[in-house]
Structures are given as structure tokens and as C-alpha cells.
Amino acid sequence: MNFVQDGPMIQVTNLSKTFTLHNQGAAEIAVMEGADLSVAAAECVALVGVSGAGKSTLMRMIYGNYLAASGTITVGGLDVTQAAPREILSLRRVTLGYVSQFLRVVPRVPTLDVVAEPLLTLGVDVTEARDRAKAMLDRVNLPERLWGLSPTTFSGGEQQRVNVARGFIHAYPALLLDEPTASLDGANREVVLSLIEEAKARGAAIVGIFHDEEARDRVCDRQIDVSAFARRRAA
Amino acid sequence: MTPLLDVKGIAKRYGRHIGCADVSFDLWPGEVMGIVGESGSGKSTLLNCLAGHLAPDAGEVWFDTRVDGPKDTLKMGEPERRMLSRTDWAFVHQHARDGLRMGVSAGGNVGERLMAVGARNYGTIRHQAIDWLGRVEISEERVDDRPTTFSGGMQQRLQIARNLVTGPRLVFMDEPTGGLDVSVQARLLDLLRGLVRDMGLSAIVVTHDLAVVRLLADRLMVMKDGQVVETGLTDQVLDDPQHGYTQLLVSSVLQV
């Protein structure tokens, strides 16, 4: 894979998105048109706009989780809209982290291993990966008695912290954060904000969605209103 | 870099009925490809054509062999293909009894595959067999027991040990978690994920269970009536399905 480092880390150009619902009369829903976004290293950009404006949709497209209808998305020089699956998989392993609002894991796998997994897929030795996972779980104040348990039964706030620990355990050059401070109390919110600030300081390019305005103002350098890219339902 | 497997235009008919038609894809080292579809969609036919259990009517299956580089396995002679299926390839059947010798001890089941590739020292074979039983979480005490005395989940793990002991590079799996209790499925999925990661295995997994592919497969191929209707990254196909059939499949899953 070729990493072009002289441009922005994340660059979205003239992006559009349409959902076609084949089983509902082939209804076409154009949700986004002409989206542009550019995020440099060490910069954090907030996506704002009312619910349904397409913040998460844009984030999922950058991650390669949703397909683009047209336009380009480059992350670390790779055009996600054109890349082969194995290139996107490699991008996600090495370059692009994602803290989503959902935790999807194999049931019964201990939290410690869930958090260590991104390092294991990078080929980090299992002892080191577990040690770093322990340090990260400690940092997000997840009680040690929970480390050996599967996070599937955890509370929302605990699952959120497992997600954050997983997303910050590797120094991804680009990060997508979908409500990283949601359902967290003051102390833990503070931990997550420091993690974001540290990631910026080491040069990560970050795109975030924050309903927490105070958090947004603190860590984000700019904000982009995605409502400007929203399309109304086609006739 | 070369793909480990390069499949071109595989087609198989049963009389007038289409088994699978014009299936092409490549698989790269370390990738897990899921194939989903309903019963009769052709996914098992395709898997059996790829693994050399069924002769397709058309197509090529190029495998990057260790010694000679890419070779069309369908044009290989029988001895060469048999050797491949004992060394670099493995096949995990849905029903463990189809992949195990039920009259032979657990240790014997694992050791037999080592002997098939030339291992002769009894001590070494037994040691490796016990090591592999441990990796699939079967206690050493059960090494001399027959698989008939094992639970379904244990039999499936034994089948996996028997298949992986020779360090294959490509594993074909036909509904590997089918017929197992949900709690056992989770344990098996975790085991398979760890083995895939640690051994750098590539795998092709046929299943009708979307939850299984979401957790196990990097890429997904959706089949209907013998045709591939959609392919892509697993999470992309499941979260933003493009084909009407995939949308129906995804929206039909019961939520718990």
C-alpha cells in the first residue's frame, strides 16, 4: 500500500450516498451529495448537524462500512471507494481506528482479549499485547475484576470504555470517534478527552461526532455541518 | 504478491439444474471468506468443487503451491491433489463424524494425519497430538478415548485439530458451527479466530448463519440460485447490502 504523506490524512471529495431499498418498491433514498472534508495530521474535526443529517453515514463511508455512490475518500493515500477488500482490511489494521457506539464481539471472550486483539492482529507478542491491554483498561478505570469477563453483559458505560480502550490501544494515524464520551461520567469522560488530546499530540487525524458540546469545543479544531450535504428524499 | 487461491469461472450443473454458475474470486493469505445463502443456493456445491470433492463442468482453481507456485488444481493428477489435501489444504465438515475416524482414539485421529505426511516416530506423533488436543481445549486425559465418547462440540474441536496439525495454509469449512449449541458455537468461533490469526491461515467458510460470518469472515460472498449476487467486506455487505436478495437476507435475521 502506498501512503502519500504530503496531503491531508483524510480527504473526502464530492461524495454522495444513495440507499436503494429493493424490497420496498426499489425506493431510492439519496442521503448525501457533494460532501467534502479534509483532515490533516494532528487535527480533530467534529461532524455536526441534526439527527439524521448523515454524520454516522459519512463516518461509516470513511471506514469502508458503507459504499459510496460517487466521489472519493482517501485515508493515508488509499482511496477507500476503489480499494480491494484486503487493502481496506490492512488500512483498518494499521492506519484507521474506529470507536463506534456498538461493541460487537465473540460472546464469552474475556474483555482483556477483546482489547488486546487489535495488537495481536498487528503481530504484537501476546504477553506484550495483554500488558498493554491491562494498562489501557486501568486507564479507563474498568475494574480489574471485570477483565476476565466477556463485555457482552456489561453496562453501557462499561462497554463504551472497552470500545475506547480497543480504539486507542494502537497508535492509529487516523481515528474515527462516534460519540466516544456518551454514557460516561465526569471522571471517565475526562480520561477519554485526554486520550483524544494525546492522540492529536502524536499526530493522529481525527474525525469525531460529539453531542457533548463542551467536549467537542475542547478537543476539536473545527466543525463541519453535514446538513449542508444532506439530500431530501427523491420522489 | 500472489493470491493464495484464484478461482475462475467455476460452473457445475446437475442435469438441467444449475449447481453454481460462473463463480470467480481470489483469496489472499490470511483472509477468511464467508459464503452465505439459503439451502440450495449452491454454496456447498461450490465449496466441494473448490476442495476437489466434486468435478466442476468448467473453470479453474489456481492454488499458490509451496514448491511450484500457482497451479490449477483441477488439472493436477490424483496423487498430487491428494497430497495437497493432506498437507496445505484442510476440510472441516459440518458433521464431525464425516471428518473423523470414529473407531480410532482422539490421539490416533490427530496422529493419523501426521503419519499420512510421513511422520513415523511414535513419541513425536503422540506428543504433537497431545499438543493439538490442548490447543483445541481437549484434556490430555482424553487422548486414548474414542470420539464416540465426546460431545458434539468436542468432536468438532477434535476434527479441527486433526485438520490443522499438519499446518495447512487453506481450510475449507462447511457449516463448522452448525448443529452445535449456541454456547459451544461461541467457544468454537473464538478458537477458530485465534487459530486463523496465529497460523496466518486462509479459510473459506460456508454457512447460512450471518452472525457467524460477521464474527469470523473478513470478506463475504452471497449466493442465490447458483449465482454470486454480491461480494465485499463482510461488515459492508451486512450493513449496506446492495442486492435485493442480500437486503432480504439481512432484514430477515431475528433480533435478540
Question: Highest mean pLDDT: which of A192-206, B130-144, B206-220?
Answer: A192-206
d(CA A22, CA A46): 33
A123 and chain B in contact, CB less than 8 A:
no
Q: Is the pLDDT of residue B253 over 90?
A: no
Q: Which CATH superfamily is domain A10-234 in?
A: P-loop containing nucleotide triphosphate hydrolases (3.40.50.300)
| Inter-chain contacts counted by CB atoms under 8 A, chains A and B | 56
What pLDDT does residue A2 have? Answer: 46
Q: Flag if B236 and A21 touch (Cβ within 8 Å).
A: no
- The average pLDDT across A217-228 equals 96
What pLDDT does residue B61 have? Answer: 98
Testing the interface with B: which of A28, A106, A109, A152 to mutate, by most B Cβ within 10 A?
Answer: A106
User: E strands, chain B, where?
Assistant: 5-14, 17-27, 32-36, 58-65, 69-72, 89-92, 170-174, 202-206, 219-224, 227-233
Chain B: residue nearest A57 by CA? Answer: B240
Q: How confident is the model at residue A232 (pLDDT cuts 50, 70, 90)?
A: low
Q: Is the pLDDT of residue A229 over 50?
A: yes
* DSSP secondary structure code for residue B141 in this structure: G
**Contact indicator for B30, A86 with CB cutoff of 8 Å:** no
Q: Is the pLDDT of residue B186 over 90?
A: no
Q: Flag if A22 and B243 touch (Cβ within 8 Å).
A: yes
Q: How confident is the model at residue B188 (pLDDT cuts 50, 70, 90)?
A: confident
Query: In this prediction, what percent of chain A has a pLDDT beyond 90?
Result: 86
Query: In this prediction, what percent of chain B has a pLDDT beyond 70?
Result: 99
**What region, left, alpha or beta, does residue A26 occupy, with left being phi > 0 and alpha being psi -120 to 50 degrees?**
left
Q: Is the pLDDT of residue B165 over 90?
A: yes
Domain assignments of chain A as residue spans, ordered by start: 10-234
Partners of A79 in beta bridges: A74
Q: Is the pLDDT of residue A203 over 90?
A: yes
What pLDDT does residue A5 have? Answer: 55
Relative to beta strand B17-27, strand B5-14 is: antiparallel
**Mean pLDDT computed over every residue of chain A:** 93
Query: In this prediction, what percent of chain B has a pLDDT beyond 90?
Result: 79
**Contact indicator for B143, B105 with CB cutoff of 8 Å:** yes
**Mean pLDDT computed over every residue of chain B:** 93
Q: Flag if B193 and A106 touch (Cβ within 8 Å).
A: yes
Q: Given B215, B219, B235, which is nearest A106 (Cβ)?
A: B215
Q: Is the pLDDT of residue A1 over 60?
A: no
Testing the interface with A: which of B198, B233, B252 to mutate, by most A Cβ within 10 A?
Answer: B233
Q: Is the pLDDT of residue A233 over 60?
A: no
Query: Chain A closest CA to B165's CA: distance in Å?
Result: 21
**Max CA-CA distance within chain B?**
57
B47-84 pLDDT, tens digit per residue, is 999 999 999 999 999 999 999 999 999 999 999 999 99
- The average pLDDT across A184-191 equals 94
A106-142 pLDDT, tens digit per residue, is 888 999 999 999 999 999 999 999 999 999 999 999 9
A24-59 pLDDT, tens digit per residue, is 888 999 999 999 999 999 999 999 999 889 999 999
CA-closest candidate to residue B66, choices B123, B2, B120: B2
- The average pLDDT across B207-236 equals 95
Q: Given A20, A85, A109, which is nearest B232 (Cβ)?
A: A85
Q: Flag if A60 and B240 touch (Cβ within 8 Å).
A: yes
Q: Quick one: which H or E segment has residue A223? A: strand A222-225
- The average pLDDT across A5-28 equals 90
A89 and chain B in contact, CB less than 8 A:
yes
pTM for the complete prediction? 0.92
What pLDDT does residue B3 have? Answer: 96
3-state helix, strand, coil in chain A (%, to 5): 40, 25, 35
- The average pLDDT across B210-224 equals 94
A138-155 pLDDT, tens digit per residue, is 999 999 999 999 999 999
